[in-house]
Amino acid sequence: MLDTTAPQTQTRSTGPLAGYRIVEFAGIGPGPFACMMLADMGAEVVTLDRVGAKKNMKSVAGRGRKVIELDLKNKDVIAQVLDLLAGADALIEGFRPGVMERLGLGPDIVLARNPKLVYGRMTGWGQEGPLAQAAGHDINYISITGALAAIGPAEKPVPPLNLVGDFGGGALYLVVGVLAALLEASRSGQGQIVDAAMCDGAASLMSMFFDLAAVGRWREGRDQNLLDGGAHFYGVYECACGHFISIGSIEPQFYALLRRHAGLSDNCYDAQMDPKAWPDLKQKLTDIFKSKTREEWCKIMEGTDICFAPVLTMTEAPQHPHMAARGVFVERHGVTQPAPAPRFSRTSSNIREPEIAEIGALVEEWNKPR
């Protein structure tokens, strides 16, 4: 069952960012996702979109916003946008480098008008460098960081959806950067530019693996290391029903439980941390896990310290008892979607309804003394 009551859809903010005002220049991918998180956490986010843009007011990533249609090629409109930004705490844009400057909304102009503003910039390659003006997508940004080369089976790398570049290395680093700059601005009274590049963030996410490589505990390639599917005790296995389960029995005590529950009594399984033994042991486990259905393995292993979980589809995930009990997914307007995360004990996040707004009224409201 979906938890459709918590968090409630609300029109007013209760989150930890209540009272903060953020102007978003409409884009795709990580920018909207970052603004969704900020809106869920209580910020008043206003999205400036082009006139006639096709809008989905039920969009998950677009939830919680006020939307204003504008012609940013009109100088009078630019003047209104500057008036709006004068009362904002942060700006988020995801254009190629130089676009905002050509519009007359570059950091120099905007920060001169509002010195305390945090100016968040989301790009793939960053604001400068040989590739700064080149087009790209998530797959390209993670390709040059070493991340893509390490993900997938031995035969070839596999794109990990666009979780690593767009959302992990992009949106989440943008959110962290904007929040850090807002904290600093509250002390110094000065804003600054946050240059969030997906290639930078994806490289940062690889920190642990560069650390492992530096001490000789990571081999280049795929399907031969502890966390890339090479180890027999950390991976995904097909069951008799055609569904899959995952195990992550790294620690000795968890591996011992795996052996007990899966009937791995043969002495060959003693070689847990011997990479030379992994291919043979993985094949043995492949045969064992194919002997039962996913449901049968769940009854045997789920809830133990084996570090086990069924591999669920997006349709199945909201129905899992744990996910349902925590209300991890909610339903709004017939659309199943993730609830706000993380959770706060006192200033709870909530999903607010999007709405169409007028810039004149907002300028008047935002420029009143707070």
Indicate which residues carry an active-site annotation: 137, 166
21-25 and 90-93 beta bridge pairing = parallel
Beta carbons of 317 and 329 less than 8 angstroms apart? yes
- Which letter does DSSP use for residue 332 in this model? E
C-alpha Rg value of the chain to the nearest Å: 24
Q: What DSSP letter does each residue of 205-272 carry, written as one string?
A: HTHHHHHHHHTT---SSSSSSTTTT-STTEEEEE-TTS-EEEEE--SHHHHHHHHHHHT--SGGGG-T
- Among candidates 258, 262, 253, which has minimal Cα distance to 296? 262
Q: What dihedral angle (degrees, nearest 10) is formed by the CA atoms of 20, 25, 26, 29?
A: -80
Collect all residues with Cβ–Cβ distance below 8 Å to 180 and sequence separation of at least 6.
none
Q: How far apart are CA 47 and CA 38, in angstroms?
A: 12
Enter the tokens of residue 162: 């666009």
| Sign of the Cα pseudo-torsion (12, 194, 167, 47, in order) | positive
